[in-house]
Structure 1
Amino acid sequence: MRLESKAAIQIQKAVEEVFEGIVNPDKMTKYFISESSGRLQTGKDVIWKFPEFDEKFPITEIKIENNREISFVWDPETVVKITLEKLSDNSTLVKVNENGKEFNEDNLKWALENSAGWANFLACMKAYLEYGIQLRKGAFDFMRKT
């Protein structure tokens, strides 16, 4: 049995704008990461940095289907897949699925934490893309090692 982490949200923006909000580091650094070595593109690896962690995270095996799907690996045991669905009111349904870990106690904790993390990613993206609000700014300062 494999564990998976899932989250979904509807964003009141066109699918093209939501897609750009995910693949473009200038936008993603406004709501999710603090640094990126580049745009998400098929076959290209990038490095992400988060404001609350000292580590840098390599993002590999990137596959892009414009305005439909983004997938990548940042944990060698899992694949993240973000799908975009254009809805009849021109809004976008965004679904995140990360799966691949074997079922055990440690990985069950991972699945719960990552589901919350992806829900936070989606809420922060919605706030930024719809209203220009940066919910993540200062939200996780308590996690930084001092």
Structure 2
Amino acid sequence: MSLGFRISGRIDKPAAEVFDAVVNPKKLSGYFTTIGGASGPLVAGEKVIWWGEIPVEIEEVTPDRRIVLRWDAEAPADGKPSYKTRIEMTFDPLEEGGTLVAIVEEGWREGESGLRKSYLNCEGWTQMLCCMKAYLEHGINLRDGYYRSEMRGEPAREAQV
């Protein structure tokens, strides 16, 4: 059995606009990959860099509906090979014009390390949805100055998500 989670949130914007806020690197860098940005748009079969250092493989993109990504679960340690987790984002239009965004990440190996990383990424994806909502609905970047390293003028180091 592998570890995983599912989160979701409602954004009061049409699915096409919410989807574009994820695939468009300029928009994504405005509320999520704020330190180091996103190197390019999400295109199936391509690889982009988030936060200036995290490689993200784009497996599938269905316009305005679904994105599937893969990235390293954790750095290899103790002679164990690295492995990737799978992230699936869905964008479901709601009758009143909003969008329900769901994010599923799965594939961590059982054990303390996998459990710890899955919790950290669950926190990160939840923050991403909150930041996207504030950015799209109100034009606010919640991550600006959020990390301690930004407050002290140190080089920025964020968690993977």
Q: Same fold (TM over 0.5)?
A: yes
- Taking the aligned partners of 1:61 and 1:130, their CA distance within structure 2 comes to 26
TM-aligned CA deviation for residue 5 of structure 1: 2.8
Structure 1 length normalisation: TM-score?
Answer: 0.90
- Using the alignment, how far apart are the partners of 1:127 and 1:62 within structure 2? 28
Shift of 1:96: 0.6
Aligned to 2:76: none
TM-score, length of structure 2 as denominator length: 0.82
Cα offset for 1:124?
A: 0.3
CA distance in 2, matches of 1:42, 1:77: 17
Specify the alignment match of 1:66 in structure 2.
63
Name 2:25's counterpart in structure 1. 25
Deviation at 1:77, TM superposition (A): 2.3
Q: Which amino acid aligns with 2:96?
A: D
- Determine helix, strand or coil for the equivalent of 1:36: coil
Choose between structure 1 and 2 for higher RCO, CA contacts under 8 A separated by at least 6 residues: 1
How many pairs are equivalent? Answer: 141
| Alpha-carbon contact 1:6-1:118 (below 8 Å) kept | no
User: By how many angstroms is 1:66 displaced?
Assistant: 0.5
Contact 2:42–2:58 (CA<8 Å) still a contact in 1? no
2:128 aligns with one of 105, 121, 140: 121
1:1-146 equivalences under 5 Å are 1-34=1-34, 35-49=37-51, 56-75=53-72, 76-142=83-149
CA distance in 2, matches of 1:145, 1:26: 21
The separation in 2 between residues aligned to 1:108 and 1:145, in whole angstroms, is: 28
SS at match of 1:30: helix
Amino acid at match of 1:5: F
Letter in 1 for 2:51: K
Q: CA deviation at 1:145?
A: 5.5
Instruction: Give, in whole Å, the separation in 1 of the partners of 2:58 and 2:41.
Output: 13
Tell me if structure 1 keeps the 8 A contact 2:2–2:109.
yes
Moved over 3 A (4+): 141-146
Amino acid at match of 1:36: A
Does the 8 A contact of 1:47 with 1:58 survive in 2?
yes
Specify every segment of 5 or more residues in structure 1 that has no aligned partner in the other structure, as ranges: 51-55
On the 8 A contact 1:85/1:92 being kept in 2, the answer is yes
Q: Secondary structure at the match of 2:56?
A: strand
